[in-house]
Amino acid sequence: MNLSKRIKAMQQSPIRKLVPIAENAKKQGKKVYHLNIGQPDIVTPAEFFDAVKSFDEKVLKYSFSQGIPELIEALIQYYKRYDIEYESDEILITNGGSEALLFSLIAVADHGDEVLIPEPFYTNYNGFSSAVGVNVVPITTKATEGFHLPNKEAIEDLISPRTRAILLSNPGNPTGVVYSPEEIQMLADIANEYNLFIIADEVYREFVYDNLTYTSFGNVKEIQDRVIIVDSISKRFSACGARIGSIASKNKELIKQILKLCQGRLCVPTLEQIGAVELYSVSDDYFKSVLEEYQKRRNIVYNSLKEMPGVICEKPTGAFYVIAKLPVVDAEHFTIWLLEEFNVDNETIMLAPAEGFYATPGLGKDEVRIAYILNENVLRKAMSILKDALEKYPNKK
């Protein structure tokens, strides 16, 4: 029997495909420090669990396809803190940010259409695009330039009659870049001039370091009818397992059409929505302490990498990832070697090979993404293991 070309063409997650190797290493008694996935160790606010425990209905019913009104209202109030105004018919609750991305792509692009995406990018951008027959056209960015965007003319050269949208994360996953107000305005101008949507993945909005200015596409008034904001509680509140995301847009017709997809999958889990409502009542002190913690972790990882011979990276200014170019021929082979053949006192690390974060063939082969989501002491130990491993790895450049 034949499987579809669509499913065969879909990219396997470069973040998760090496998990069986890591699990096998653990079975052999190794301690593995996971720097490969954005699963924070920050404690989820108690408000979430308290709300779920307080649920006392006798029947766990379907909720509304667009999301429960209380959660939509909580998001409306949340966005007001950023001077972004939404109405209740301009927000949809989704099964995580992933479903929000998938539904947005389905809504704005047909089979064979194109989406511009700065690379390196979150791997699901490519996976979801290929699954629905949309072609990714990469906007290549460079570590030496802090992964900031090229000039307007370079981006315009990539636009074709099949281009439908620009998709990007800000702050960036996997790069940690925070785009400047000028870059945001440049993309807004391009979207206006070429009649494109902007799908803005802003799930790391709170994680901006070094007192940088953060600009949301929701603040660019002249393009509100073409901006789709993808959001999630996963990283913001360290609630990855709850799978609560959202789509927000001033384009009411777009929201009306995406609602049909939401109706098709019936609803988002009721209990998780109830818990998420209370997360949006968490005090600003929570975000302040979390931001300070991540900035300390960023500094530990970045400073350690800069001291390792042959390693090239730029300081990330947002999210909790860094892309590092290693003095190795093949970063995936190095990652597997770390798990299968290397240890320090029976401890090793797991990285995310970066080649899968690129659409351009050949790029990222000697790069890794490191997620600094573990506590300071563990990160110092992990960086020490990486330094030792690079010194002993046989297939260096």
Question: Pick from 147, 249, 152: which is nearest to 198 by CA?
Answer: 249
* Average pLDDT rounded to a whole number, residues 295-310: 97
- What pLDDT was estimated at residue 157? 98
For the cut 80, the answer to whether the pLDDT of residue 185 exceeds it is: yes
Check residue 16 and give its pLDDT.
73
pLDDT of 155 strictly over 90: yes
Q: Going by CATH, does the domain composed of 8-43+285-392 fall within 3.90.1150.10?
A: yes
Task: Copy the structure tokens of residue 96.
Answer: 């995580």
**What's the whole-number mean pLDDT along residues 353-375?**
95
Residue 79: count other Cβ atoms within 10 Å of its Cβ. Answer: 20
| pLDDT digit string, tens, across residues 329-353 | 999 999 999 999 999 999 999 999 9
Question: What percent of the chain is predicted at pLDDT more than 90?
Answer: 92
Q: Given this model, what pLDDT does residue 10 score?
A: 79
Domain 46-279 = CATH 3.40.718.10:
no
The model's confidence at residue 15, banded by pLDDT at 50, 70 and 90, is low
Contact yes or no for 278/50 (Cβ under 8 A): yes
- The structure tokens listed for 104 are 């947005």
At 5, the pLDDT band (50, 70, 90 cuts) reads: confident
Asked whether the domain spanning 46-279 has the same topology as the one spanning 8-43+285-392, the reply is no
Give dist(CA 7, CA 10) in Å, integer.
5
Number of residues that this document lists for the chain: 397
pLDDT bin (cut points 50, 70, 90) of residue 397 is confident
In which band, very low, low, confident or very high, does the pLDDT at 325 lie, cut at 50, 70 and 90?
Answer: very high
For residue 171, cis peptide bond before it (omega within 30 degrees of 0): yes
88 is written with which tokens? 């209740």
Per-residue buried b or exposed e for 185-204, using 16+ beta carbons within 10 Å of the residue's own CB: ebbbebbeeeebbbbbbbbb
Cis before residue 120, ω within 30 degrees of 0?
A: yes
pLDDT digits (tens, 9 = 90+) for 105-120: 999 999 999 999 999 9
Give residue 12's pLDDT: 73
Q: Does 3 or 8 have the greater pLDDT score? A: 3
The residue extents of the domains of the chain are 8-43+285-392, 46-279
Prediction pTM value: 0.95
- The answer for 164, left when phi > 0, alpha when psi is -120 to 50, beta otherwise, is alpha
The CA distance from 348 to 384, in Å, is: 10
Mean pLDDT of all residues in 176-180: 97
Locate 189 and state its tokens. 């101008």
Contact 131, 10 (CB under 8 A): yes
